[in-house]
Amino acid sequence: MTRGFLVLSAAGLMAASCCAPEARSEARTVKVAVAASLTEAFTALAKEYETEHPGVRIRPTFAASSALAQQVNDAAPLDVFASADEESMSKVTVAGNALDPKVFARNRLAILVGKGNPKAITSLADLAGPGVVFLLCAPEAPCGRFGAAALEKAKVKARPASLEENVKGVVSKVALGEADAGIVYATDVKAAAGRAEGVDIDIDGDPALTAVYPIALTRQADDVEAASGWVDFVLSERGQQTLSRFGFLPP
């Protein structure tokens, strides 16, 4: 049985590798490098766009912005880059591998708490309360940088129980009840609806607390017309509506 399975999977792999180029030639394909925090929103956007433009296929690759910037600079076959921070985008533009980035969305930080907010957390200051277990992203991740800056700005000296490697780890552990609260993006609160709740952070609406999402064509984009059509769609009224449905703020 095991052997049959191996043979089958090998055959499957071969089939997949043999036919991919043919499938591509049927439609115009836009290969998009997308920051992980845009996963749900861009999946929905791509579906909408493909319905409206039957001849074009959007093929997204989701990963951390820093990793994607590296790939674009290594001349990976990617036509469009949508980054979760300006730092990663500037690494690409400085190297001359992308042109004219445009900000298409912003994201706020928020406090994620368990269902029913059992510890009655209403502000960053409450995170320093006795017996509150709260999580932050590791400083290597943008959410960790933004989160630490927010705490500093609010003059809150709270010690996170753990520095999670990425924002979705914070979400999972709060939803599981293994932590009382965590600093995440507003879009994560939206995505976790039903499993956890959000508390807005208000420090005089400081823009330093918002993540900025730029998008740009890369230098190696071969079908510039199709690629810029997609970028225009993300920036359009329709695209913006979809993004706001997922909790993103307008640029």
Q: Counting contacts by CB under 8 A, is residue 66 touching another protein?
A: yes
Are residues 144 and 136 in contact, defined by beta-carbon separation less than 8 angstroms?
yes
CB closer to another protein, 165 vs 222:
165
Q: Counting contacts by CB under 8 A, is residue 176 touching another protein?
A: yes
Q: Counting contacts by CB under 8 A, is residue 165 touching another protein?
A: yes
CB closer to another protein, 141 vs 216:
141
The three-point CA angle 86-219-215 to 5° equals 30
Q: Counting contacts by CB under 8 A, is residue 141 touching another protein?
A: yes
To the nearest whole angstrom, how small is the minimum distance from the Cβ of residue 210 to another protein?
Answer: 23
Q: What is the DSSP string of 176-238?
A: HTSSSEEEEEHHHHHHTBTTEEEEE--STT-GGGSEEEEEEEETT-S-HHHHHHHHHHHHSHH
Q: Which of 14, 177, 193, 200 forms a contact with another protein (CB under 8 A)?
A: 177
| Number of residues near another protein (by CB under 8 A) | 17
Name the residue with tokens 């959000």: 198
Q: Counting contacts by CB under 8 A, is residue 164 touching another protein?
A: yes
To the nearest whole angstrom, how small is the minimum distance from the Cβ of residue 47 to another protein?
Answer: 30
To the nearest whole angstrom, how small is the minimum distance from the Cβ of residue 30 to another protein?
Answer: 29
The order of strands in the sheet holding 134-137 is 162-164, 134-137, 181-185, 109-114, 196-200
CB closer to another protein, 29 vs 83:
83
Q: Which of 140, 152, 206, 222 forms a contact with another protein (CB under 8 A)?
A: 140
Rounded distance between C-alpha atoms, residue 39 and residue 188, angstroms: 11
Helix (H, G, I), strand (E, B), or coil: what is residue 241? helix
Q: Which of 162, 210, 220, 240 forms a contact with another protein (CB under 8 A)?
A: 162
Handedness of CA 62, 67, 72, 75 (dihedral sign): negative
To the nearest whole angstrom, how small is the minimum distance from the Cβ of residue 27 to another protein?
Answer: 36
Region binding another protein by CB under 8 A among candidate stretches 21-29, 154-162, 198-206, 218-226: 154-162
Counting beta carbons within 10 angstroms of the beta carbon of residue 10, is it exposed (0 to 12), middle (13 to 18) or buried (19 or more)?
exposed
Window 120-139: contact mask with another protein (x via CB under 8 A):
-------------x-x--xx
Rounded distance between C-alpha atoms, residue 92 and residue 81, angstroms: 9
- Residues interacting with another protein, by CB under 8 A? 66, 133, 135, 138-141, 160-165, 173, 176-178
